[in-house]
Structure 1
Amino acid sequence: MNNNLPSYNELPEVFAIQLDTIGAITLKGAEQAKYLQGQVTCDVDSLAQVKLLNGAHCNAKGKVFSAFRLIERNEAFLLLQPKSSIEQSLAELKKFGVFAKVEIAQDSELAYLAIAGQQASKKMAELFQQVPDAKTPVLQDDSTTLVYIAGALDRYLIIANTEKLAEISGNFELPIYNDAVWYLLEISAGFPILSQQHIAEYVPQMLNLQAIDGISFTKGCYLGQETVARMQYLGKNKRALFALTGNNMVANVGDIIEKKLGDNWRKAGDVLAVYQASNMQSYIQGVLANDFDDATELRIKTQDSNLTRLPLPYKLSTETE
C-alpha cells in the first residue's frame, strides 16, 4: 500500500485503490424493484436498460440518508456507498420493507477495488476479456462485477469476494493507494460523500443529485418526493455542492466555511469531506450558498486558508450554460 497521498495533478497514469470503507445495502426478492422504486429518488424501473443509476434515499421530509450508485449483481440490487451512510439508511429501508417480499441487508461478503487513471481502460483490457464503458457500464460473470464510472479520470470498480479480488490484484503491478484517493476522485467528480454527522441534513438538490441524474422527476411517488419536487419547481433551493482547494492548511469534516463580506467573515457553508495530500494541499467538498462567485473570498473558520473553487464536470442551474 502506497502511503503517499498525491495531489490530483500528481496521480499516476494508472493506479489501484483498495476500498475498505465502501460497502453496499443489498435488496433481493420478488418485489425488490417495486419496493425500492417507492423509496429512492432514481427511477429503479430503468435499471434493466441503463445498468447503473445514481440516486439518494431520503426521509419523509426529503432529507438525504445516503447517496449511492445502484447496480444489479446476481439478481440482487446493490446500493454502493460509503459504509458511514449505511446504518441509518438500512434501518429505514428495513422498517418499511417488512410489508414487501424483499430481503434487505448490509453486504458482508464482497470486497471492492478500483482501477483509475488516464490509462485505466488499457490496464483493464489486459486483465479482462470484456471491459465496461459508457454504453455498457456494468459487466459481470458468476464471481466478478465490473463497473465503469465516467469522469475526467476513468474509474473502474471491481467487485468480488476477498479471495477472487486478491487473485485479480495479484495479476498487476500498480501503485495501490488507500481509499482516501477514491474520495479525492469523488470530490473532483462532484459526487456527494455523506459522513455520519451530515445524514438527514440536506435535500438532494443541495448535494447536486439532479446534476448527476440522481433524481427522476417523472417516476411518481417515493419517500420525500414532495419536498424534492417543491425544491425543483418552486426554485426554493439556495444551496449546492462545491469542490474547493487550498494550500498549506488542514481541514476536517464538519468545519465551517466562511466567506468575506466587507471586513467581516460570515458562515458560507459546511465541509462534507476532505482529502489531504502529502504536499499539504487540501481538497474539500462543501455545501455552500449557491450564489457565490469566483471572486468571493473563502476560508476555513479561524484559519488563514484562502480557498479556491474547483470546476465540476457538470453545470448547476445557477450557472450559465
Structure 2
Amino acid sequence: MSSWNELLVQQAQALTTTQLAVGFVAPIGDQGLIALDGEESAGFLHNQLTNDVEHLGTGEVRLAGYCSPKGRLLASFLMWRNASTIFLQLPREIQAPVQKRLSMFVLRAKTKLSDAGELPANQVVLGLGGGMAEDALQNWFDPLPDQPLTKLDHPLGTLLRVADAFGAARYQWLMSAEVAQTVVPELAAKLSVGRTDAWHLSEIHAGIPQITKATQEQFVPQMVNFELLGGVNFKKGCYPGQEIVARSQYLGKLKRRTTLVSIADAAAAAGVEVFATADPEQPCGMVVNAAPNGKGGIDALVEMKLAAIEAASVRLGSADGAPLIFLDMPYVLDPLDL
C-alpha cells in the first residue's frame, strides 16, 4: 500500500477554481507551527500581537499580526489554543526568525516557545474545501465546526474551520501520519487532489492574506484588509506598532487596500510591484500572495492605492507589463474608502 504522501503526490494536479468549488483536498506542506506553553503565554502574546489573545477560547480560531515598532507586519498568524498550549501558524520560511524575535521579549514571563510542527499530532496538515468537503469529513467528524474561525479537538486530530470560499466551508485538519494513512485514501477517492498551491489559491479567493519572506515589513495591517477580517482588536491595548496601526484607522482616510486579481503571467509572485497606467513612473502597489489558477495564469491578492483599484488599469512589474484583471472580492472593502 502506498504511503499517504505518495498517494497525494500521485494524484495531485493543478486545480482550477471550479474544481476547488466542487470539492478538494490538498497537503499544506509549507506552514510552520509555533507552540507557547506556560501559564503566562496568553498574557505575553496579548502584548505582542494585534489581536486579543487573553480571551481566545479553546473552540475559536483567530487571525493575528505581529508588527515592527513602525506598525509594519513582520508576520501574520492563524492562531488557536487548547487547554495548555497556544499555537501560531505561519510560513515555515519565516518561522525561525519570528520565533527567535518573539523569544527575545519573553523576559520573565512564564512561557516557552517551541516548534510544534514535528509533534506527532501535527505531522500532517490537510486543507479541504468546496461543496463536497463537508460530506467527506462527516465520515469522521459529527458534528463539524458550525461557522468560520472555529475548531474542535478530536481523537483523530484538530479540525479548524477557516474562512469560507466559493460559497462553501474550508478546513484545515492537523493529524498524525498514522491517521493520515487511514483517511487520505478515502478523501482522495471523493475529492479532487491538489498540491499545496491549491490550498493557497483557495486562501486567495477567500481574501485571506499571508505575510511571507518577500513581504515582511511592507504593510500596515489595514493595507492587507486585516482589520476587516477580525485580525486587529482596537480595544486590547498596547503592542509593537500599536500607535501607528491605530492612527491609520482613526486619523484620515485609508488610501490603500488589497484586492483580488487574475494575471496571465507566471512571474506574478509575492513582493512583485504593480504599476497604474495613469502613473507609470512609480509603483502603486505590490503582490501579497499568488498561486497558479489551473488555467495557465496566476490569481493573486494585490495591495494597491484605492485610486488604482477604482481605475482598474494596473500592470505587473511595469506600466507595460501584463494587465491585472480585477475579480470580485468575497467581502466588501470599506464602502467609505471606495
TM-score, reference length from structure 1: 0.91
* 142 and 224 in structure 1: CA distance in 2 versus 1, 3 angstrom threshold: farther
Q: What residue identity is the alignment partner of 2:260?
A: A
Aligned counterparts of 2:247 and 2:59: Cα–Cα separation in 1: 27
Report the equivalent of 2:199. 182
Cα deviation digits, residues 35-59 of structure 1 (max 9, x gap): 1111101111221276111111112
Asked whether 1:301 is paired with 2:323, we answer no
* 119 and 76 in structure 1: CA distance in 2 versus 1, 3 angstrom threshold: same
Asked whether 1:125 is paired with 2:125, we answer no
Residue 103 (structure 1) shift: 0.8
* SS of match in other structure, 2:172: strand
Superposed counterparts of 1:283-294, under 5 Å: 283-294=299-310
Farther off after superposition, 125-134 or 206-215: 125-134
Asked whether 1:211 is paired with 2:228, we answer yes
Superposed counterparts of 1:71-90, under 5 Å: 71-73=80-82, 75-90=84-99
Q: Which runs of 5+ in 2 are unaligned?
A: 1-8
Superposed counterparts of 1:18-29, under 5 Å: 18-29=27-38
Residue 288 (structure 1) shift: 0.8
Superposed counterparts of 1:199-238, under 5 Å: 199-235=216-252, 237-238=254-255
Aligned counterparts of 1:309 and 1:23: Cα–Cα separation in 2: 31
Asked whether 1:162 is paired with 2:177, we answer yes
TM-score, reference length from structure 2: 0.87
Specify which of 130, 138, 148 is matched with residue 161 of structure 2: 148
Specify which of 47, 59, 69 is matched with residue 68 of structure 2: 59
Residue 205 (structure 1) shift: 1.0
Residue 266 (structure 1) shift: 4.2
Q: What residue identity is the alignment partner of 1:191?
A: I
* 219 and 206 in structure 1: CA distance in 2 versus 1, 3 angstrom threshold: same
Does the 8 A contact of 1:14 with 1:123 survive in 2?
no
Report the equivalent of 1:100. 109
Aligned counterparts of 1:213 and 1:239: Cα–Cα separation in 2: 18
Aligned counterparts of 2:155 and 2:133: Cα–Cα separation in 1: 23
* 176 and 10 in structure 1: CA distance in 2 versus 1, 3 angstrom threshold: closer
Give aligned-pair identity as a percent: 25
Does the 8 A contact of 1:127 with 1:171 survive in 2?
no
Superposed counterparts of 1:251-262, under 5 Å: 251-261=268-278
Q: What residue identity is the alignment partner of 1:313?
A: P
Does the 8 A contact of 1:7 with 1:281 survive in 2?
no
Report the equivalent of 1:282. 298
Aligned counterparts of 2:58 and 2:125: Cα–Cα separation in 1: 24
Farther off after superposition, 158-167 or 23-32: 158-167
* SS of match in other structure, 1:150: strand
Report the equivalent of 1:197. 214
Farther off after superposition, 6-15 or 28-37: 6-15
Report the equivalent of 1:272. 288
Superposed counterparts of 1:239-258, under 5 Å: 239-247=256-264, 250-258=267-275
Residue 143 (structure 1) shift: 5.0
Aligned counterparts of 1:88 and 1:270: Cα–Cα separation in 2: 23
Residue 161 (structure 1) shift: 2.3
Aligned counterparts of 1:179 and 1:117: Cα–Cα separation in 2: 16
Residue 320 (structure 1) shift: 6.9
Aligned counterparts of 2:137 and 2:214: Cα–Cα separation in 1: 36
Report the equivalent of 1:312. 329
Farther off after superposition, 295-304 or 90-99: 295-304
* SS of match in other structure, 1:158: strand
Aligned counterparts of 1:58 and 1:299: Cα–Cα separation in 2: 29
* SS of match in other structure, 1:200: coil
Q: What residue identity is the alignment partner of 2:179?
A: K
Residue 237 (structure 1) shift: 4.0
